[in-house]
């Protein structure tokens, strides 16, 4: 029964299933977008904008989107497992072809996953923001409605009352405290204002997503990589916080600054920690020394970081770092040092070529 072994060594079944899953995900995403628009439409109506039930509708939409992505991810994982077996079973040109095919599918997966995820987020944010704008319109209508003085019944023009506010009657001088009207209260208490700010900052959000993906694709990012990520996070956080400051009566410049810092830090996550900064700095020093071409100095650099797992590991990581930043010539020199440090017995040139090929193939799969 030769066929029973065939699926393990031949990824073509898994490949066609993955391609079907990709097409299914596209179809499902288009249908999902229409469902989201239909589900959110009642909350954009003037009678009860952004009313109860909107949050549940958004949560449902998020769950369905993650199901679409989950199905797509499972087919991709199966494909990659299948390639792993197939690549291991082959040698020479046949292996090369499979590796090339596998890298091509990894690229497709990366771009398609990013596109589906981003399109999904934009759909949700846009739907929430359109309900929020309807609510904002209702709130501004409330601000134009005068209230009656409780003592003399004369009208008092109150404007945007967003929290309990006391007004002195112009006719009788009595003090009246008014609560915010319902739409105004809902607008300032709920997620609507954030939804409007998120929609306004979508273009900065896209730039941030790209910067974040690039940063996270690196095994050993350098300080310059972080700066790009940080700048994108700052722009996005600032765009949102500024609009929030303009639309919220209680927000002053200090709050905009504080909120910008907080949102940018949230977006950066672990990358903003001092440990991560120290690691980036260590690799930047190593890359610098390696670019100078002096192997003795490079060895000294590796020895000067005893806190890491070990000198051989550090040199191996430095080779990955320099290679993923595109400098194959310097990476080659570090691989030479790695051969020496690891006391490899295999022929030096063969070992180094294998090592470089392994770096190439690992990078292609990221």
Q: Which is nearer to Zn ion, 173 or 269 (CB)?
A: 173
Residue 149 in the binding site for Zn ion (CB under 5 A): yes
Please work out, in degrees rounded to the nearest 5, the angle formed at the alpha carbon of residue 265 by the alpha carbons of 262 and 266.
85
- Which of 40, 169, 311, 335 touches Zn ion by CB under 5 A? 169
- Which of 151, 203, 303, 308 touches Zn ion by CB under 5 A? 151
Contacts 24+ apart (CB under 8 A), 249-253: 249/160, 249/162, 250/162, 250/163
The tokens describing 106, both together, are 């990894």
Residue 171 in the binding site for Zn ion (CB under 5 A): yes
310: left (phi over 0), alpha (psi -120 to 50) or beta: left
Mapping DSSP onto H, E and C, the string for 259-309 reads: HHHHHHHHHHHHHHCHHHHHHHHHHHHHHHHHHHCCHHHHHHHHHCCCCCC
Q: How far is the CB of 172 from Zn ion (least distance, A)?
A: 3
Q: Which is nearer to Zn ion, 150 or 248 (CB)?
A: 150
Distances (CA, A) of 224 to 83, 92, 264, 279: 35, 39, 17, 13
The tokens describing 363, both together, are 């990078």
Q: Which is nearer to Zn ion, 66 or 171 (CB)?
A: 171
Residue 157 in the binding site for Zn ion (CB under 5 A): no
Q: How far is the CB of 56 from Zn ion (least distance, A)?
A: 44
* Cβ(83)–Cβ(102) below 8 Å: yes
Q: How far is the CB of 167 from Zn ion (least distance, A)?
A: 10
The tokens describing 299, both together, are 């060895």
Q: What is d(CA 110, CA 73) in angstroms, rounded to the nearest whole number?
A: 11
Region from 28-36, 151-159, 230-238, 331-339 binding Zn ion, contact rule CB under 5 A: 151-159
Region from 19-27, 139-147, 148-156, 337-345 binding Zn ion, contact rule CB under 5 A: 148-156
* Cβ(207)–Cβ(164) below 8 Å: no
Say how many residues touch Zn ion, by CB under 5 A. 8
* Cβ(120)–Cβ(29) below 8 Å: yes
Q: Which is nearer to Zn ion, 154 or 266 (CB)?
A: 154
Region from 111-119, 121-129, 153-161, 217-225 binding Zn ion, contact rule CB under 5 A: 153-161
E strands, 131-244, in order: 147-148, 155-156, 165-168, 175-178
Q: What is d(CA 58, CA 214) in angstroms, rounded to the nearest whole number?
A: 29
Region from 62-70, 161-169, 212-220, 317-325 binding Zn ion, contact rule CB under 5 A: 161-169
- Which of 41, 45, 157, 172 touches Zn ion by CB under 5 A? 172
Q: Which is nearer to Zn ion, 149 or 198 (CB)?
A: 149
Region from 34-42, 143-151, 291-299, 307-315 binding Zn ion, contact rule CB under 5 A: 143-151
Residue 152 in the binding site for Zn ion (CB under 5 A): yes
Q: Which is nearer to Zn ion, 89 or 156 (CB)?
A: 156
In the complex, which residues of this chain contact Zn ion (CB under 5 A)?
Answer: 149, 151-152, 154, 169, 171-172, 174
């Amino acid at each position: 029964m030769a066929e029973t072994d065939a699926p393990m060594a031949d990824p073509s079944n898994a490949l066609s299933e993955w391609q079907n899953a990709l097409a299914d995900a596209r179809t499902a995403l288009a249908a999902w977008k229409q469902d989201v628009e239909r589900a959110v439409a009642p909350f954009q109506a003037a009678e009860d904008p952004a009313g109860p039930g909107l949050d549940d509708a958004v949560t449902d939409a998020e769950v369905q989107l993650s199901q679409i992505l989950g199905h797509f991810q499972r087919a991709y994982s199966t494909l990659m497992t299948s390639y792993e077996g197939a690549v291991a079973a082959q040698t020479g040109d046949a292996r090369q072809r499979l590796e090339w095919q596998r890298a091509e599918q990894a690229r497709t997966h990366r771009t398609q996953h990013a596109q589906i995820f981003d399109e999904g987020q934009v759909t949700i944010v846009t739907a929430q923001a359109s309900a929020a704008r309807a609510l904002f319109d209702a709130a501004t209508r409330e601000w134009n409605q005068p209230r009656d003085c409780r003592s003399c019944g004369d009208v008092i023009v109150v404007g945007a009352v967003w929290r309990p506010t006391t007004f002195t009657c112009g006719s009788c001088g009595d003090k009246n405290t008014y609560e915010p009207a319902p739409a105004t209260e809902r607008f300032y208490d709920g997620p609507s204002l954030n939804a409007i700010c998120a929609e306004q900052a979508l273009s900065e959000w896209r730039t941030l997503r790209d910067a974040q993906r690039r940063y996270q694709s690196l095994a050993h990012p350098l300080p310059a990589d972080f700066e790009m990520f940080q700048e994108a996070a700052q722009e996005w956080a600032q765009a949102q916080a500024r609009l929030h400051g303009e639309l919220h009566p209680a927000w002053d410049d200090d709050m905009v600054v504080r909120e910008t810092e907080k949102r940018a830090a949230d977006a950066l996550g672990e990358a903003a920690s001092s440990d991560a900064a120290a690691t980036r700095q260590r690799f930047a020093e190593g890359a610098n020394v390696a670019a100078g071409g002096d192997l003795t100095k490079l060895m000294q650099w590796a020895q000067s970081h005893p806190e890491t797992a070990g000198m051989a590991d550090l040199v191996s990581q430095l080779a990955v770092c320099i290679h993923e930043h595109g400098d194959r010539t310097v990476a080659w020199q570090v691989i030479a040092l790695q051969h020496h440090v690891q006391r490899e017995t295999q022929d030096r040139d063969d070992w180094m070529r294998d090592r470089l090929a392994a770096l190439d193939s690992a990078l292609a799969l990221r």
